[in-house]
Structure 1
Amino acid sequence: MAKIGYARVSTIDQDFDIQRQRLQAEGCVIVRAEKASGGSREGRTELATLIEFLRKGDELVVTRLDRLGRDTRDVLNIVHECEQRGAFVTILDPHVSTRGEMGQVILTVLGMVAQMERRFIKERQREGIHRAKSAGKYKGGAVRVDHQKIRDLSASGTGATAIAKAIGCSRMQVYRVLSSKKL
């Protein structure tokens, strides 16, 4: 029986050190972290690896439910996959675990809240962009990765994984940049 921690942040300029420290303080012997959106499981290879690694009696620990996911269905699927392996999921804040009978119900409700929060964030963002565009102040989001460098590395035969490591972004971001070149 092992406690295994999972930390996630959404963007490359965010840091997961606080999550990692909290998970280690909770006794997690392994802590995996990644920078990927919680809106879906796409591109979240560390989470997939952790789930594959789980054994009977293990416990997957996250600091908050939104670190596990912001889509109710995804969260419930993750919990289900962990349970099929005989493992438990524990959220530290608020403290909820699937070990107890009510854990699944509480996680479902919290998952719905996380999904609703994500929708509110997106709606506020769209409204803000619309207002800024109307006022002539919107110039688009900040470019976080060097698109030309990604294209140059790809053209020289460098693979997506190596490019992502060199640039400091996800492979999914590399694929997006490369596919936008074709449009």
Structure 2
Amino acid sequence: MPRKIGYARVSTADQNLDLQIAALEKAGCNQIYRDQGVSGCQENRPEFAKALNEMKRGDTFVVWRLDRMSRSLRHLIEINETLTQRRAYFESLTEKIDTSSPMGEFVFHILGAVAQLEREIIRERTLAGLAIAAQNGRFPGRPRKCG
């Protein structure tokens, strides 16, 4: 019998998973794996790996938002290929993506590319802001060590 396997993640230990867990439960997830204090940029996420290994034919891997699963298009595609090889599907509740249909698969790839573009734009803006601050003698972030 096909199952829905949920995955929830927050980047810092002080963030709360409750919103994601409630949404995954409402979506009918049979089991929910949780990573707390783990960045989406990291490919080494213990509970994520367990959830992915749990996937069998006909199962659906469910996340609250696409960025809970991954932050790079390359990694999203790799995950989707793994699911496809296992004849499993992917569903994102917020973006209403469901790869059990050809249109859902298409939307998955488009939104994955948009998510990566958004991340790169934010990164460029952050780096530009840091460069301007440095020109003005300000160095935000952790204090620098002296030689």
Q: Give the TM-score of the pair, scaled to structure 2.
A: 0.86
Larger radius of gyration: 1
The correspondence of residues 140-155 of structure 1 with structure 2, limited to 5 A, is 140-141=141-142
Q: SS at 1:102's partner residue? A: helix
What CA distance in whole angstroms lies between the structure 2 residues aligned with 1:55 and 1:67?
Answer: 21
The correspondence of residues 27-106 of structure 1 with structure 2, limited to 5 A, is 27-34=28-35, 35-41=37-43, 43-106=44-107
User: Deviation at 1:108?
Assistant: 0.8
What CA distance in whole angstroms lies between the structure 1 residues aligned with 2:24 and 2:80?
Answer: 18
- Higher fraction of helix: 1
- Structure 2: give runs of 5+ residues left out of the alignment: none
What CA distance in whole angstroms lies between the structure 2 residues aligned with 1:103 and 1:19?
Answer: 21
User: Deviation at 1:23?
Assistant: 0.6
Contact 1:55 1:85 in 2 (8 A): yes
What CA distance in whole angstroms lies between the structure 2 residues aligned with 1:28 and 1:71?
Answer: 25
Aligned-pair identity (%): 38
What CA distance in whole angstroms lies between the structure 2 residues aligned with 1:135 and 1:81?
Answer: 48
What CA distance in whole angstroms lies between the structure 2 residues aligned with 1:93 and 1:140?
Answer: 32
Letter in 2 for 1:28: C
User: Deviation at 1:139?
Assistant: 4.1
Contact 2:83 2:90 in 1 (8 A): yes
Matched, 1:10 2:6: no
The alpha-carbon distance between structure 1 residues 70 and 4, as it changes in their structure 2 partners (threshold 3 A), is: same
**Higher RCO (CA 8 Å, separation ≥ 6 residues):** 2
- Structure 1: give runs of 5+ residues left out of the alignment: 143-183
Contact 1:40 1:74 in 2 (8 A): no
User: Deviation at 1:12?
Assistant: 2.9
User: Deviation at 1:40?
Assistant: 4.4
The alpha-carbon distance between structure 1 residues 108 and 131, as it changes in their structure 2 partners (threshold 3 A), is: same
Q: What is the CA deviation profile of residues 121-177 of structure 1, one whole-angstrom value per residue up to 9, with x for unaligned ones? A: 1112112222333333334249xxxxxxxxxxxxxxxxxxxxxxxxxxxxxxxxxxx
Q: After the TM superposition, list the runs of 4 or more consecutive aligned residues in structure 1 that deviate by more than 3 angstroms.
A: none
RMSD (CA atoms): 1.7
What CA distance in whole angstroms lies between the structure 2 residues aligned with 1:134 and 1:13?
Answer: 33
What CA distance in whole angstroms lies between the structure 2 residues aligned with 1:132 and 1:16?
Answer: 34
